[in-house]
Every structure is written in C-alpha cells, then in structure tokens.
C-alpha cells in the first residue's frame, strides 16, 4: 500500500534510484509503518505550494535516515539528533529555501534535545516533523524517551519503570512553552479522520514557512508495528487506546495570525566597503623615521607590570604601536585569564630591528613596574645591565639590585598634577621613550590615535606625553 501511496505526489521521485534494493518503486519502511504516511503528506504539501524545487529536506538518523530516497528536493543527511542544527545552518545560508527537519523520538527527544529546544527557542524559520512511535525503530526496538510507563522494549524488558527511566517526554507540551515557536500541534495516524487532521497539520506547518512566519513543529503519534511486535491493525488500536491518553492531541500553540513575517535583508558590500567595515584600514599611513636610540637600549625586551586598572596592557600596546610606526618588528603578549583575576596584569613587548623570535619576555632588558608587587616579583628576572623604571609615587621601595639601572619616576604624582591619574601610563611611556631615545615625541602623539579610543581624552594624554618626555630627557644619564 505504502508504495502506491508514495508514488502520487510530484515531490517524490518516480523511481527511488538511490535505494540499493532491486525494486526501485518500493519504499524501505515496514508494512504498516507511519513514516510513509507522513512522507506522503509532506510531498503533497510541497506540491500544493509548488516549493519542491526550493525545499531542502534533512534526513535524521533513525528509520527515516533514507528519507532522501523519496523526496525530489535538495537533501542533506544529518548526524543523530543534530537535524535542527543542520537545518539552522542551511536555512541561514539560504533563507529563501524551505527547510524541513524530520526526526524520530530518539533523535529529537533523547540525543538531540538541546538542538531542538534551541532551534525552537531561536524561532528558526523551519518546519519540524516529529515522529513519536514510542520506540527506537531502526536499532531494533529499544526504549525511547517517549516510551510509555510499563511498555516493554528490548531495553526495558520488565516495562518502563518511572523510578529507573523517568516518564515519557512530552515534546509538543515542552516546545509550546517557549516564546518563539509559532505553531505546535500533536496529531495521530490511527484512523482516517485522524490522518486527515494530520495531513492538514503538516500542510499548515509547511505553509507557515512558505509565508516566513517562523518555527513550526508537528508531533505525530505514529505506528511502528515491527518495534511494537504487533500487526498493523493492533498498532492502530494501541495508538488510540494506550498512547493517546498519555499524549493528548491538539494544537498546543498557534501564533500564525499574530506574527509578522521574517525578513532577511541582503547585503553584499564591495571590496572597499569590506575593508572599512572590518577595521583594517589603518588609522594613519604616516611613516616615522626611526629615532636615534642610545646604543645600550637597542632591541629592548620589555615587561610592563602593575594593577589591572593602571593601563598596563595599554602602555604595552602603545609601545608596540609606536614601534610599528617606526618600522620596527614588534610583538605584544598579555597575561590573560585567571592570571589577571588577582588584579595584577603584565605584558611582554619586543621592539626589534630584526624579526621577533620568541614574543615571551622571561628576562626583560626593560622592566616597567607600576606597583610594588610587580617590582618585587620581577626585579630578579631583569637582565644584567637592564633598566627598571618604576612609579616612585606608588612604590616606597628602591631597586635592590646593583647590576641594573633604575629610573624612579613619580608618574602618578605627575599625572595627578595634570588632573587625570589615569594618564600615568602615558607619562611612563613617554619618559621611557625619551630616556632611551627609542621613540620620537611625534611617534608617540601618533600612537595616541590608536591607543586612546575616546577622542576627548587625546588632549590630556598628549600633555601626559609632554610631561613624561620632559622627565625622560632631563634624567638622561648618557
């Protein structure tokens, strides 16, 4: 019977050429199986709305894994339970298409619970058909999440026991609780009247998508004579007498009259637009001549450390930015994650004449310490003859080592005098640049364009650079 039924709709292939069996007209389902009925309703609806050409059918894992034998549409076969995620991907790729996600109860209500819940919750503009046959058909009659209490299956041989396996999952009820879905109905296939209702529900669920209304799900109580070890006639009775009381039929949700259709605007920017949109057009194309660096400060390997809020990472990034503007090879590497949670932060910066090998600075030639713990922690790591610059207004401590050079800099005090404590980092940057001759003032000004995102703060930071630069120049020893 099923084969005759399947041939009717145009949206089915005439011959099931993908089916390896010799008979290319026979479907692979068992006699009396509900899958064939639902396939037929779907194909007829696709015919009616003339959308077969733009339909993409997602076959699940389960007995309907080979649904693509039948539907003369685009076809994708998905992993077990993942059809709604795959449907999401293809629908987002081609919003004009009609995407059908077809799933069994193991597929949808066990392994794929997260995927269906979230596809529904996002209101994906797709149509889901959910075949509830209270059993795993394909794998030979094991318990499904929808298996009824006391129902015997090969993995609930003494009957489903709620204390061990819990209760049947009620999908239509669950999904209808979410805000986004526009249409959720449960139907059954046990007699002609119910099948007619099922056909209407299937049609409506597809129509909703044709009209871009949003997420629709139809749960179909469907016979599995093989899994239930019953003949087709008894199977129908079992749906009516045993399943129905547990899975009440009806429309659980219908917002189709209320919602506005989805619109997906198209936008294909030009090459020039793309570059601007993704921020890869540099703030400045200016090139800056390398400054005259005092010999011993060439190729610095810098560590900047301090409290999280002191702008430590920004100071480091500004160093790297300035280096890049002067055509050095640079790298900047932050401490990240939990390291930062204690409130301290540090970063490693290289400014080199030749390509940077390791970006990791374990033994800095320059340590910039903005708070006491940083000085205490990193002083011992500094290379012999290295330079330590520290904020002497916050650190009441001297550099202990005698084999390094120390430059105490009252950065916070100077910043306060300027009227903005937060400029201490830029004062430090400028003092270091001037003291070593690493960067010119012009380069530092230009660096601010990238380093300081809030335009109103540029002026004060420029002043900070003046102050710091002045300090660095006047304290030069070489």
Partner 1 sequence: MAKILMKGNDAVIRGAVLSGCRMYFGYPITPASEIAEAAANYIPKVGGTFLQAESEVAAINMVYGAASGGMRVMTASSSPGISLKQEGVSYAAGAELPCVIVDIMRGGPGLGNIAPEQGDYNQIVKGGGHGNYKCPVLAPNSGQEMCDLTRMAFDIAEKYRTPVYVLADGYTGQMMEPVEFGEPLTKFPRQDWAVYGDAVSKHNLISSIYLDPEELEEHNLKLQKKYQEIEKNELRYEEFMLDDTDYVVMGFGIVSRILKTVVEKLREDGMKIGLLRPITLFPFPKGKIADLSERVKKFLVVEMNNGQMVDDVRLAVMGKCPVEFYGRMGGVVPSMTELYEKAKQLADSTN
- 126-146: b (≥16 Cβ within 10 Å) or e: bbbbbbbbbbbbbeebbbbbb
Instruction: Please report whether residue 99 would count as binding ligand TPP according to CB under 6 A.
Output: no
Instruction: Please report whether residue 133 would count as binding ligand SF4 according to CB under 6 A.
Output: yes
The label of the residue with tokens 């020893």 reads: 477
- Pairwise CA distance, residues 18 & 22, whole Å: 11
* Tokens standing for residue 269: 């920017």
Neighbours of 253 (CB within 10 A): 19
Instruction: Please report whether residue 33 would count as binding ligand SF4 according to CB under 6 A.
Output: yes
- Rounded to a whole number of angstroms, the minimum distance from the CB of residue 177 to partner 1 is 17
Q: Which of residues 350-369 bind partner 1 (CB under 8 A)?
A: 356-360, 362-363
- Pairwise CA distance, residues 370 & 427, whole Å: 12
- Rounded to a whole number of angstroms, the minimum distance from the CB of residue 35 to ligand SF4 is 5
Q: Return the H-helix or E-strand segment holding 432.
A: helix 424-436
Which residue among 37, 40, 49, 73 contacts partner 1 (CB under 8 A)? 73
Instruction: Please report whether residue 225 would count as binding ligand SF4 according to CB under 6 A.
Output: yes
3 state DSSP class of 283? coil
- Rounded to a whole number of angstroms, the minimum distance from the CB of residue 145 to ligand TPP is 9
Instruction: Please report whether residue 53 would count as binding partner 1 according to CB under 8 A.
Output: yes
Angle between helices 411-418 and 458-474 (to 10 degrees): 140
Instruction: Please report whether residue 104 would count as binding ligand TPP according to CB under 6 A.
Output: yes
Instruction: Please report whether residue 60 would count as binding ligand SF4 according to CB under 6 A.
Output: no
| Options 50-58, 157-165, 236-244, 407-415: segment touching partner 1 (CB under 8 A) | 50-58
CB 71 within 8 A of CB 112: no
Query: What residue 245 binds from ligand TPP, partner 1, ligand SF4, none (CB within 5 to 8 A, per partner kind)?
Result: none
* Tokens standing for residue 207: 């129509």
| CA-CA-CA-CA dihedral for 362, 368, 314, 468, to nearest 10 | -150
CB 61 within 8 A of CB 86: no
- Rounded to a whole number of angstroms, the minimum distance from the CB of residue 29 to ligand SF4 is 4
- Rounded to a whole number of angstroms, the minimum distance from the CB of residue 445 to partner 1 is 17
- Rounded to a whole number of angstroms, the minimum distance from the CB of residue 358 to ligand TPP is 43
CB 105 within 8 A of CB 123: no
| Options 225-233, 248-256, 295-303, 337-345: segment touching ligand SF4 (CB under 6 A) | 225-233
Instruction: Please report whether residue 304 would count as binding partner 1 according to CB under 8 A.
Output: no
Query: What residue 330 binds from ligand TPP, partner 1, ligand SF4, none (CB within 5 to 8 A, per partner kind)?
Result: partner 1
Give 93 or 114: the residue with its C-beta nearer to ligand TPP.
Answer: 114
Which residue among 1, 22, 164, 267 contacts partner 1 (CB under 8 A)? 267
- 57-89: b (≥16 Cβ within 10 Å) or e: bbbbbbbbbbbbbbbbbbbbebebbbbbbbbbe
Pairing of strands 366-369, 301-307: parallel
Q: What angle do CA 368, 371, 374 make, to 5 degrees?
A: 65
- Total number of residues that touch ligand TPP (CB under 6 A): 17
Instruction: Please report whether residue 226 would count as binding ligand SF4 according to CB under 6 A.
Output: yes
Instruction: Please report whether residue 303 would count as binding partner 1 according to CB under 8 A.
Output: no
Instruction: Please report whether residue 169 would count as binding ligand SF4 according to CB under 6 A.
Output: no
- Rounded to a whole number of angstroms, the minimum distance from the CB of residue 274 to partner 1 is 4
- Total number of residues that touch partner 1 (CB under 8 A): 77
Instruction: Please report whether residue 84 would count as binding ligand SF4 according to CB under 6 A.
Output: no
- Rounded to a whole number of angstroms, the minimum distance from the CB of residue 383 to ligand TPP is 56
List alpha helices for 225-294, DSSP H. Answer: 225-228, 232-238, 244-246, 271-277
Those residues whose C-beta lies under 8 Å from the C-beta of residue 197, and which sit 6 or more positions away, are 187, 249
Give 119 or 187: the residue with its C-beta nearer to ligand SF4.
Answer: 187
| Options 133-141, 173-181, 196-204, 382-390: segment touching ligand SF4 (CB under 6 A) | 133-141
Q: What angle do CA 336, 284, 421 make, to 5 degrees?
A: 50
- Pairwise CA distance, residues 65 & 71, whole Å: 12
Q: Which of residues 130-169 bind ligand TPP (CB under 6 A)?
A: 131, 133, 135-139, 144
Residues at the interface with ligand SF4 (CB under 6 A): 29-30, 33, 35, 63, 133, 137-138, 224-227
């Amino acid at each position: 019977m099923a084969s005759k039924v399947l041939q009717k709709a145009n949206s089915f292939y005439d011959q099931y050429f993908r089916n390896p069996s010799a008979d290319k007209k026979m479907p692979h389902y068992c006699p009396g199986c509900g899958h064939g009925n639902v396939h037929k309703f779907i194909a007829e609806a696709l015919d009616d709305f003339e959308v077969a050409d733009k339909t993409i059918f997602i076959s699940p894992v389960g007995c309907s894994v080979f649904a693509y034998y039948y539907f003369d549409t685009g076809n994708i076969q998905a992993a077990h339970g993942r059809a709604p995620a795959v449907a999401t991907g293809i629908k987002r790729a081609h919003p004009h298409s009609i995407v059908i996600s077809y799933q069994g109860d193991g597929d949808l209500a066990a392994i794929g619970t997260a995927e269906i819940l979230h596809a529904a919750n996002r209101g994906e503009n797709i149509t889901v058909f959910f075949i509830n046959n209270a059993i795993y058909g394909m794998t030979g009659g094991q318990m499904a999440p929808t298996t009824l209490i006391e129902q015997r299956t090969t993995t609930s041989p003494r009957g489903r026991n709620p204390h061990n396996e819990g209760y049947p999952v009620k999908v239509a009820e669950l999904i209808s609780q979410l805000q986004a879905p526009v249409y959720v109905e449960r139907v059954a296939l046990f007699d002609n009247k119910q099948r007619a209702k099922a056909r209407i529900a299937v049609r409506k669920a597809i129509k909703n998508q044709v009209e871009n209304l949003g997420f629709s799900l139809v749960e179909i109580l469907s016979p599995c004579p093989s899994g239930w070890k019953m003949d087709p006639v008894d199977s129908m009775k079992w749906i009516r007498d045993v399943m129905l009381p547990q899975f009440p039929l009806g429309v659980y949700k219908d917002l189709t009259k209320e919602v506005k259709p989805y619109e997906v605007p198209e936008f294909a920017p030009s090459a020039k637009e793309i570059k601007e949109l993704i921020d890869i057009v540099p703030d400045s194309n200016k090139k800056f001549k390398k400054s005259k660096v005092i010999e011993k400060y060439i190729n610095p390997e810098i560590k900047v450390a301090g409290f999280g809020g002191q702008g430590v990472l920004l100071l480091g990034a500004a160093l790297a930015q300035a280096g890049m503007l002067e055509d050095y090879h640079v790298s900047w590497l932050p401490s990240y994650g939990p390291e930062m949670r204690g409130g301290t932060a540090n970063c490693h910066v290289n400014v080199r004449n030749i390509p940077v090998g390791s970006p990791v600075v374990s033994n800095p030639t320059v340590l910039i310490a903005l708070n006491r713990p940083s000085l205490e922690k990193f002083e011992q790591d500094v290379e012999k003859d290295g330079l330590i610059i520290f904020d002497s207004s916050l650190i009441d401590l001297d550099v202990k080592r005698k084999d390094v050079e120390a430059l105490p800099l009252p950065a916070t005090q100077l910043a306060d005098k300027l009227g903005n404590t937060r400029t201490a980092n830029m004062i430090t940057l400028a003092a270091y640049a001037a003291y070593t001759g690493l960067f010119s003032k012009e380069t530092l000004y230009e660096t601010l364009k990238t380093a300081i995102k809030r335009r109103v703060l540029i002026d004060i930071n420029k002043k900070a650079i003046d102050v710091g630069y002045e300090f660095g120049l006047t304290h030069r020893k070489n």
